[in-house]
């Protein structure tokens, strides 16, 4: 597993925030309030006393609570990046999956190297806004092209 997704420490703060330190030394604050109110399985975390019992699991892969609730480090880091105004690696994964793109075809579509796209996809480098906008533009133009072909047929 990638060091940047391994959790080395977690501290809870009010209300419903986790301060998470990852294996690469970076620390993020994640506001869990939207997730807690949006997902029924997280409803026990509405109780502040229960929420404060968060801890890192034994292998550093998740933040866990005693009621069987665990949140994976890669998802927490992605959420933290998004909350801080960045673009998480999960957006690239989802874009590639949604459009059935391989690493090679996605890199070609964006006009970047496979290696750079792999860095973005794996969270090794921050995703520049222009790259994410290129993903959206490519998807939009591809969708428009497919729709035009359907109309012409």
pTM comes to: 0.81
Q: What is the pLDDT of residues 74-127, one digit of tens each?
A: 999 999 999 999 999 999 999 999 999 999 999 999 999 999 999 999 999 999
Nearest to 3 by CA among 77, 94, 93, 82: 77
According to the model, what pLDDT value does residue 144 have? 63
User: Which pLDDT does position 11 carry in this prediction?
Assistant: 96
Domains along the sequence of the chain with CATH: 3-83 (3.30.2020.10), 89-152 (1.10.260.40)
Contacts 24+ apart (CB under 8 A), 140-147: 142/99
In this predicted structure, what is the pLDDT of residue 68?
A: 86
The predicted structure's pLDDT at residue 86 = 94
Q: What is the pLDDT of residues 49-68, one digit of tens each?
A: 999 999 999 999 999 998 78
Query: Is the pLDDT at 149 greater than 70, yes or no?
Result: no
């Amino acid at each position: 597993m990638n060091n940047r997704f391994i959790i080395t420490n977690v501290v809870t703060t009010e209300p419903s925030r986790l301060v998470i330190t990852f294996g690469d030394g970076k620390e993020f604050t994640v506001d869990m309030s939207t997730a807690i109110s949006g997902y029924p399985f997280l409803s026990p975390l509405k109780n502040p006393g229960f929420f404060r019992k968060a801890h890192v699991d034994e292998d550093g892969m998740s933040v866990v609570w005693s009621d069987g609730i665990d949140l994976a480090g890669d998802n927490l880091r992605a959420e933290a990046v998004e909350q801080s105004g960045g673009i998480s690696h999960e957006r690239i994964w989802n874009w590639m999956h949604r459009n059935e793109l391989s690493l090679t075809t996605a890199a070609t579509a964006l006009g970047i190297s496979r290696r750079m796209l792999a860095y973005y996809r794996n969270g090794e480098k921050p995703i520049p806004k222009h790259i994410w906008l290129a993903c959206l533009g490519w998807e939009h133009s591809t969708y428009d092209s497919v729709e035009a072909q359907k109309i012409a047929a």
